[in-house]
Structure 1
Amino acid sequence: MQEFINNFNLEDYLPAVIAGMTNVLFAAAILIVGIYIASKVNRGICKMGESHEKLDDTLFRFLGSLGKYIVLAFVVIAVLNRFGVQTASIVALLGAAGLAVGLALQGTLSNLAAGVMLLVFRPYKVGDFIDAAGRFGNVTEIDLFTTVLQTFDNQQIIIPNSQIWGAQIINHSHHKIRGVDMLFGVAYKEDSAKVKKIINDVMAAHPNILKDPAPFVEVESLNDSSVDFRVRPFCHGEHYFDILYSVPEQIKQALDQAGVEIPFPHRKLIIEKEE
């Protein structure tokens, strides 16, 4: 030990010490600047979503976090490279790990991709009534992986976004004015003009049926035992289900009061007696 102290020469180690301190200072500077840039990238992307009402905040918060961690990943690689660490093997290892994770989470990633597409193209929004993936209900929540619906009987349905994006989506709330399609059949003996007047009178008295556009009432088809009328009143979207479930009963009562026969399937049986 005494021999080491006697032979120690600071000038021999000074370049290495200076180089090491320089690397530490440069690494600290890279780290500080990188964290600052990552935070700015995150805030900038989030502000893009906040500045446009039609853009979804959830998507931009996700993209902001993604951009932040991508910048931080490059910062860590730059810091390690500053200390002489061979980063090529680390990048290859991270790539292989990412591939393995991606293969293990194929379903989750497909939901994520579908969620991004739904948030970008916005075929529906929270509060809309939609028919998607064989389910119907009011959209209460949309995130990157699932869409949550509330049914009329207060059930909560959570649907993976990949099932929605890959199938037909019917948005019942997209247009403010909706047509309500209904079909009514009457007997062949009835006067078509009289039936149309009865139906029009019922719709004219309904407070939620619009006068413009005017209700549509016409004969659609001639069936085996009935003349079928296509009836399509128009209303604001929030009254759609009220009309769908109240008008048929009102028309039925009006037809009954007017003595109009509403036919039903029946068979005529003829029995012949043997002599």
Structure 2
Amino acid sequence: MESFFQSLDLNSYVPGAIAWATNILLAALILIIGLWISGKAYKAVYGIGKKYERLDDTLFRFFGSCVRYLILAFVFIAVLNRFGVETTSIVALIGAAGLAVGLALQGTMSNLAAGVMLLIFRPYKVDEFAEVAGTFGKVTEIDLFTTVLQTFDNQKIIIPNGEIWGKQITNHSFHEIRGVDMTFGVAYDEDIDKARAVINKVLAEHPHVLKDPAPFVEVSELNNSSVDFIVRPFCKGEHYFDIKFSVPELVKKALDEAKIEIPFPHRKVILVNESK
């Protein structure tokens, strides 16, 4: 037995064991420090979005995650390097994989890029009414890839951000006060001033029509069979649709009560007797 232990050269194993122990300790230290730094970086980037009200939290949460995982990738490579693993090929492999994924997800990447721009410039926000990609509704959700609208008939419309950015976006809730454009026609034989007074009276009695700015009621066009008034009362944004769908009925009733004719298109036909 003594001869067996004597045959083992323990001194040859000690340096290797110490080297492995040192590498393990250094790798653990690198990993702990890397995790700490990545967490701090995430909080720092996310804190920028929380600090400024105009900046969107979703966008900076995404940026924070990108920074954190980028740091962790370098930490992983550094840990492998401590154990003598050749990391050059790993970096090249990751780069090639990233390129392949990017090419395969070109449409998704365009939606992501558009989502980043929407979250930076914020042409509309959640709970606002907007018209995007030909669809009108209340914005219920904005993320990096899609915008979700709720229509008035209570449908959920999910629109890819790539179809929104770069096209016309109409934000109906941006300004607190809005004008509501309507057109009313009266017959040519009617008194224009009397018709204007009737319309103004309807607007003055409506609870949601603002006095300042004053409603705009003027003749806009001499049509084929009517004198058309352009009518633009002003209201707070939340009362827009109440004005738009209640005032026409009130004006119709008021004009009927005042015996003012609202004409409909008609055509005059002249018959010629060719027998004479």
Q: TM-score range by the shorter chain?
A: over 0.9
Q: Distance in 2 between matches of 1:224 and 1:144?
A: 51
Secondary structure in 1 aligned to 2:185? strand
- How far the C-alpha of 1:139 sits from its partner, in A, is 0.9
Q: Distance in 2 between matches of 1:4 and 1:250?
A: 111
Secondary structure in 1 aligned to 2:265? coil
What's 1:155 paired with? 155
- How far the C-alpha of 1:97 sits from its partner, in A, is 0.5
What's 1:18 paired with? 18
Read off the aligned partner of 1:147 and give its amino acid letter: T
List, as ranges, runs of 4+ consecutive aligned residues in structure 1 with deviation greater than 3 Å: 2-7
Read off the aligned partner of 2:191 and give its amino acid letter: D
Read off the aligned partner of 1:58 and give its amino acid letter: T
What's 2:88 paired with? 88
Structure 1 segments unaligned to the other structure (5+ residues): none
Q: 1:3 to 1:63 in 2, by over 3 A?
A: farther
What's 1:197 paired with? 197
What's 1:246 paired with? 246
Read off the aligned partner of 1:88 and give its amino acid letter: T
Q: Distance in 1 between matches of 2:152 and 2:16?
A: 74
- How far the C-alpha of 1:6 sits from its partner, in A, is 4.3
Secondary structure in 1 aligned to 2:164? helix
Q: Distance in 2 between matches of 1:150 and 1:65?
A: 29
Pair 1:121 & 2:121 matched: yes
Q: Distance in 1 between matches of 2:181 and 2:82?
A: 71
- TM-score, normalising length: structure 1: 0.94
Q: Distance in 1 between matches of 2:169 and 2:99?
A: 32
Q: Distance in 1 between matches of 2:42 and 2:213?
A: 48
What's 1:101 paired with? 101
- How far the C-alpha of 1:5 sits from its partner, in A, is 5.3
Percent identity among equivalent residues? 66
Secondary structure in 2 aligned to 1:165? coil
Deviations for 1:200-219, whole angstroms, at most 9, x for unmatched residues?
A: 11100101000000000111
Q: Distance in 2 between matches of 1:13 and 1:231?
A: 95
Of the structure 1 ranges 64-73 and 233-242, higher mean CA displacement relative to structure 2 is found in: 64-73
Deviations for 1:75-100, whole angstroms, at most 9, x for unmatched residues?
A: 00111122222211111111110111
Residue pairs, 1:1-275, within 5 angstroms: 6-273=6-273, 274-275=275-276
- How far the C-alpha of 1:11 sits from its partner, in A, is 2.5
- How far the C-alpha of 1:44 sits from its partner, in A, is 2.0
Read off the aligned partner of 2:227 and give its amino acid letter: V
Q: Distance in 1 between matches of 2:32 and 2:156?
A: 46
- TM-score, normalising length: structure 2: 0.94
Q: Distance in 2 between matches of 1:6 and 1:170?
A: 88
Q: Distance in 2 between matches of 1:149 and 1:268?
A: 48
Deviations for 1:28-65, whole angstroms, at most 9, x for unmatched residues?
A: 11111001111111122222222333322222221221
